């Protein structure tokens, strides 16, 4: 398949968002990116879990580590709106809860997360 | 309460059609290539592992594809999912922005994955398939397919990456609770698995190994097909119920997003929320920014 990929021999580093470790991206998404219909951003694991815990402590839902990437993206957009002093309507997909991922929260909360 | 923060839809607002972005991309999506020949995969390559209606969806360029009634009825177990406004997070950030989120964790499996597991199981059932094989890493997809197979009376075989199988037993138990057979991969079930185990008895396994085992299982067992939880066009298609419901719920909230954000691994949850908004950008002159977020160590 034609997609942005890290190659099939890519052995992903052990991060807690297991669902984001896939070595390739959907051709439909790759194609939309190539055609400049979407933007891409990256964050490190430490930033992701800070966002996850902030979300859990304000909104209640404990997010899956994968979904916390979208939360972090939303928080950055909201901070930019604050800096710009402009309203901004942000929508993100909270794709799953993290209640079966508490081991990774343990790593973060006990300071053993490798970023 | 002064200000509503939850926007819910009645069951009859579950979308009636999936949105197929292939109809709208200015340039067509490149077809899948055969892993050995590097030529575009032929129909018979795909037929070895997928049933015909799934292949039709995979290559379709029709813009709207109807959800079968029975699929909508099963999705109604948890859909439409809620859309909420994160007012407490907004306050904590002291931002003038309004932050909304679509909550796909409301499904029985706890993620968006059943949105595609349900139709995949249904189409296979209609095609006379008795058994579905798949792989899973941490278990989100495997548990979703286990649920879907249980709902439609199919047998479900899951090859689960060994390190997750042993270290994260809860999703394995979830799959077993929903009636699936779960093998730690590499396993003794396939020639490939046995070969890997002989060479590397202590391997933690990988998603690639589990995929190879699931595909070998598929082609060596009559009445069996393979199911994939992300990446492919038909999976992205099935997830577009997320964005379509969101469009209607944002209308209830009286706002329209300036930016839509999703995390990207294989890409299906992102596609699900993003593609219907891309459709509006392309057809209705909307200018919503669409942002994909990835971990810095695995950016593709």
Distance from CA of B221 to the nearest CA of A (A): 26
- Least CB–CB distance from A19: residue in B140, B167, B289: B140
CB-based contact B248:B8 (threshold 8 Å): no
Q: Report the half-sphere exposure of B91 (CA within 13 A, side-chain side).
A: 7
Choose the mutation target among A56, A93, A114 for the interface with B, i.e. most B CBs under 10 Å.
A93
Given CB atoms, is A83 within the 8 Å cutoff of chain B?
Answer: no
pLDDT (tens place) for every residue of chain B, 300 residues total: 678 999 999 999 999 999 999 999 877 777 776 666 667 778 888 999 999 999 999 999 999 999 999 999 999 999 999 999 999 999 999 999 999 999 999 999 999 999 999 999 999 999 999 999 999 988 999 999 999 999 999 999 999 999 999 988 999 999 999 999 999 999 999 999 999 999 999 999 999 999 999 999 999 999 999 999 988 999 999 999 999 999 999 999 999 999 999 999 889 999 999 999 999 999 999 999 999 999 887 655
B242 CB contacts (<8 Å, ≥6 apart)?
Answer: A93, B81, B102, B104, B112, B115, B269, B272, B273
Please tell me whether the interface predicted TM-score (ipTM) of this complex is above 0.90.
yes
Please list every residue in chain A whose beta carbon sits closer than 8 Å to the beta carbon of residue B242: 93
Given CB atoms, is A65 within the 8 Å cutoff of chain B?
Answer: no
Distance from CA of B163 to the nearest CA of A (A): 11
Q: What is the dihedral of CA A98, A104, A107, A113, to 10 degrees?
A: -110
Domain extent listing, chain B? 114-233
Place of tokens 């069951």: B11
User: Residue B224: in which H helix or E strand, if any?
Assistant: strand B224-226
Given CB atoms, is B95 within the 8 Å cutoff of chain A?
Answer: yes
Among B42, B67, B50, B58, which Cα is nearest to B227's? B50
CB-based contact B278:B290 (threshold 8 Å): yes
**Residue A46: how many CB atoms within 10 A of its CB?**
12
CA B270 to chain centroid, in Å, comes to 10
Please list every residue in chain B whose beta carbon sits closer than 8 Å to the beta carbon of residue A75: 89, 93
Distance from CA of B122 to the nearest CA of A (A): 23
CB-based contact A54:A78 (threshold 8 Å): no
> Is the CATH code 3.40.50.1100 the one for domain B114-233?
yes
Given CB atoms, is A35 within the 8 Å cutoff of chain B?
Answer: yes
User: Residue B103: in which H helix or E strand, if any?
Assistant: strand B98-103
B24 CB contacts (<8 Å, ≥6 apart)?
Answer: B63, B278, B279, B282, B283
Q: Provide the β-strand partners of residue A91.
A: B100, B260
Contact B27 A92 (CB under 8 A): no
Given CB atoms, is A20 within the 8 Å cutoff of chain B?
Answer: yes
């Amino acid at each position: 398949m034609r997609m942005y990929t890290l190659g099939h021999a890519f052995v992903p580093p052990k991060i807690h968002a297991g669902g984001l470790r896939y070595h390739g991206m959907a051709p439909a998404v790759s194609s939309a990116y190539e055609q400049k219909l979407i933007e891409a951003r990256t964050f490190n694991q430490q930033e992701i879990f800070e966002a996850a815990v902030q979300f859990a402590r304000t909104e209640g839902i404990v997010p899956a580590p994968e979904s916390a990437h979208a939360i972090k993206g939303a928080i950055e957009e909201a901070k930019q709106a604050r800096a710009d002093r402009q309203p901004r309507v942000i929508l993100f997909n909270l794709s799953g809860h993290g209640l079966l991922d508490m081991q990774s929260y343990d790593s973060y909360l006990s300071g053993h997360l490798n970023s | 309460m002064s200000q509503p923060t939850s926007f819910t839809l009645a069951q009859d607002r579950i979308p009636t059609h999936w949105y197929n972005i292939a109809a709208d991309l200015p340039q067509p999506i490149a077809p899948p290539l055969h892993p050995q020949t590097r030529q575009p995969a032929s129909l018979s390559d795909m037929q070895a592992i997928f049933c015909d209606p799934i292949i039709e969806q995979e290559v379709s360029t029709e813009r709207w594809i109807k959800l079968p009634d029975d699929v909508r009825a099963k999705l109604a177990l948890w859909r439409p999912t809620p859309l909420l406004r994160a007012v407490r997070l907004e306050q904590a950030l002291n931002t003038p922005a309004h932050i909304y989120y679509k909550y796909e964790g409301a499904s029985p499996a706890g993620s968006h994955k059943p949105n595609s597991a349900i139709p995949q199981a249904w189409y296979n059932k209609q095609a006379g398939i008795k058994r579905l094989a798949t792989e899973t890493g941490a278990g989100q997809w495997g548990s979703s397919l286990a649920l879907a197979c249980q709902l439609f009376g199919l047998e479900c075989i899951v090859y689960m990456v060994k390190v997750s199988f042993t270290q994260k037993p809860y999703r394995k138990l979830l799959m077993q609770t929903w009636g699936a057979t779960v093998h730690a991969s590499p396993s003794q079930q396939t020639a490939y698995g046995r070969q890997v185990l002989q060479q590397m008895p202590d391997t933690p396994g990988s998603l690639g190994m589990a995929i190879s085992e699931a595909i070998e299982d598929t082609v060596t067992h009559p009445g069996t097909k393979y199911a994939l939880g992300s990446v492919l066009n038909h999976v992205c298609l099935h997830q577009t119920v997320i964005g379509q419901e969101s469009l209607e719920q944002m209308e209830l909230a009286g706002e329209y997003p300036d930016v839509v954000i999703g995390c990207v691994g294989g890409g299906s949850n992102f596609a699900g929320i993003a593609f219907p908004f891309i459709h509006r950008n392309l057809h209705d002159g909307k200018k919503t920014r669409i942002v994909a977020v990835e971990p810095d160590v695995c950016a593709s």
